[in-house]
Chains A and B, each alone.
Chain A
Amino acid sequence: MVRSTVLICGGTGCSSSGSAKIKDKMVEEIKAAGLENEVKVVVTGCFGLCALGPIMIVYPEGTFYSRVTVEDVPEIVSEHLLKGRIVKHLAYDETVKDNEILSLNDTAFYKKQKRIALRNCGVINPENIDEYIGTDGYQALGKVLTEMQPQEVIDVIKASGLRGRGGAGFPTGMKWQFAANQPAGKKFVCCNADEGDPGAFMDRSILEGDPHALIEAMAIAGYAIGSDQGYVYVRAEYPIAVQRLQIALNQAREYGLLGKDIFGTGFNFDIELRLGAGAFVCGEETALMTSIEGKRGEPRPRPPFPAVKGLYGRPSILNNVETYANVAQIILKGADWFKSMGTEKSSGTKVFALGGKIKNTGLVEVPMGTTLRDIIYEIGGGIPDGKKFKAAQTGGPSGGCIPEKHLDTPIDFENLAAIGSIMGSGGLIVMDEDNCMVDIAKFFLEFTVDESCGKCTPCRVGTVRMLEILDKITSGNGTLEDIDKLEELCNYVKSASLCGLGQTAPNPVLSTLQYFRDEYVAHVVDKKCPAGVCKNLMRYVIIEDKCKGCTACARKCPVGAITGTVKQPHVIDAEKCVKCGVCIETCKFGAIVKQ
């Protein structure tokens, strides 16, 4: 009889820190202890707290072990699994209070979360369809096919207020209605799993942790609009996600949940995978469809909209992974249940990938309308190392930087747009006082310049001009006129570009200009980078009083820029220094600073 279950995260984050080896060791130790019939080991998708990976949870106690190493495994087996004694020193410290071990759900990280799209992530084995079925999986598809008309399905989705989670927030039910209204014939259901925002991993975690949720929802969409063929366009850089999705598709076919005559209702539907090849613009809907056709993924003007003329010229819908991940739950629990969460215009929840200068990097799902402050400080645990918060970036290369004064804005699609950013797909990167906002703007613009497909001039040429100006500013050669010129260019590129990539590319620049103009001014007027990031604007100097003359830095400097005699303060020759930063790291006395 199974009396304990050990969940080990097999998401990309934990896999990268070696969770597969931990699982092997666990299985080996359990066998050695003769527990193989009593303890079950399950590899799951992402639990969300990637910062603490590799992660292991032992049930029935729900003990949360963090940063587990292969060496820790024997102790967990002999103490916890064999003798029932929780290994306190390996448990996540937030769960250890006095002498009690708290449930994970009571920790600050999980308490304010509401998991719908992520409900199965880190809970079930994504490679076993029975576990999905065990948590009401494929019930919604059954209900839809046997009890509902396609129009009824669309009506429920419309009533739920579900909006696209891929960035633009378009009402999903309306999109489905357009496609359903087209004359019967070949139609396509597509899923955008290209996740182009660098630094976001919500969709990947859903694919890795709960792939059947996507498959079920796409079949429901197929029934609603009258399509028998789906495509998932997924990043090739996500090998684990691709593999799990492939396994899930095969299992669904085996169970008759994909293919011909599903549930004996005469409804046919199947799904094919297409791997993206690393082009950000392919996240744009018309480009994505062109790419599935095997061509260069360039956008085309709309109208015609894909709902009328999409993939292979046929009516098609495209939705984001997280959008789909809500669908089955809405069908089962009803539109009112979904509407009861979130704000008036943005119902439900949103998944965010927390990253950057934040303690609990990882995945969180919160009701729409939660404030950034709650996400960053309560759930995210705040900024590490006692540093000061500077900005939160949402929406990736299409979004903006939000300053401290807007942290109490309840986030939904409208509010984020009003403060100069966008919801985007859910990347949320926190920056502290050590990040230079001009440098960040330049970072995103380098990305856009690289990713512009080149089809239209405002984007192709305009973004390059903008980058040139930013280069000039960060290297200390900018003027106040350059800042004005930059702003002008932004507005031009925004209004004249063909697709969303160009239209949103200026956002990181515009929002930093709006909230952090003083940093731009410091770069051009004082020729200083306040955060000490822009290399050309800073110098490495040794503070005389602090230098003990240990000579450590002089020995490490790759270009011999540091001179001085033993036990005497050293100096850096600014002419020779290549600003590599090695000396700062070498100095044990904190005597070297960037200015």
Chain B
Amino acid sequence: MKKKPTTVAFKGTHEQELELDRLIAAHKDDPGALMPVLQGAQEIYGYLPEEVQRHIGLAMGIPFEQVYGVSTFYSQFSLNPKGEVAIAVCLGTACYVKGSGGILDKISSILDLAVGETSRDGKYSIEATRCIGACGLAPVLTINNEVYGRLTVAQVEGILKKYM
């Protein structure tokens, strides 16, 4: 999986750093703690900025290369901040055979934004996801965790308008 590092400047707060340190301390004695720590850090920051990964490496005594190796291996870890309106279209098999590819194209063309990218102003991001487990409602998309199911291409514009 190829991942593009972000071009957005890091804007972490002191509170976030304190929370991160608490998280690291809580996992101090677990073997295999790197994954849970990265998952927690992503919850704190919304993504995994390089600065945060370096901090984790130092605090846990793990070389940065190894931290980076793990964060780039798993698709759940995001090196890019998501948009305020984070759109994710399911490209799992059940959704794909019911035409979610067309829905993704449509969103991408309305917002003039490529899949996997965040708009420059940080407002929108589009992502293709794997099955979110709502196959019964295929095709589905989520916007900021709100699920929209049984979609047709024609409905897309109306849904996006709610967030514009």
Contact = CB atoms under 8 A, between A and B. Distances in A.
Interface of A: 12-13, 16-17, 49-51, 53, 197-201, 204, 236-238, 274-279, 291-297, 312, 353, 355-357, 361-362, 393, 396, 427, 429-431, 435, 440, 443-444, 450-451, 453, 558, 580-582, 585
B61 interface: no
Interface in B32-90: 32-36, 38-39, 69-70, 73-77
B137 A393 contact: no
B32 A293 contact: yes
B34 A294 contact: yes
B93 interface: yes
A558 B112 CA distance: 12
Nearest to A440: B97
B131 A13 contact: no
Given A274-B32, A355-B97, A355-B138, 10 more contacts: A12-B134, A13-B135, A16-B132, A16-B137, A50-B137, A199-B92, A279-B1, A294-B33, A361-B94, A581-B102
Interface string B12-50: 000000000000000000011111101100000000000
A361 B138 contact: yes
Contacts of A53: 136-137
Contacts of B32: 274, 292-294
B129 to A, nearest CB: 8
Contact of A278 (B76, B95, B149): B76
Contacts of B105: 580
28 contacts: A13-B136, A50-B134, A53-B137, A197-B93, A199-B94, A200-B135, A201-B131, A204-B133, A237-B76, A237-B131, A274-B32, A277-B39, A277-B77, A278-B74, A278-B75, A278-B130, A279-B74, A293-B31, A294-B33, A295-B34, A295-B70, A296-B73, A312-B31, A355-B138, A430-B97, A453-B73, A580-B105, A582-B153
B7 interface: no
Given A13-B136, A353-B135, A277 B75 contact: yes
B9 interface: no
Contacts of B137: 13, 16-17, 50, 53
Contacts of A297: 73-74
B104 interface: no
A168 B93 CA distance: 20
A276 B73 CA distance: 12
Contact of B73 (A204, A279, A581): A279
Interface string B122-164: 0000000111111111101000000101001110000000000
A234 to B, nearest CB: 12
Given A16-B147, A294-B70, A277 B35 contact: yes
Contacts of A293: 31-32
Contacts of A279: 1, 73-75
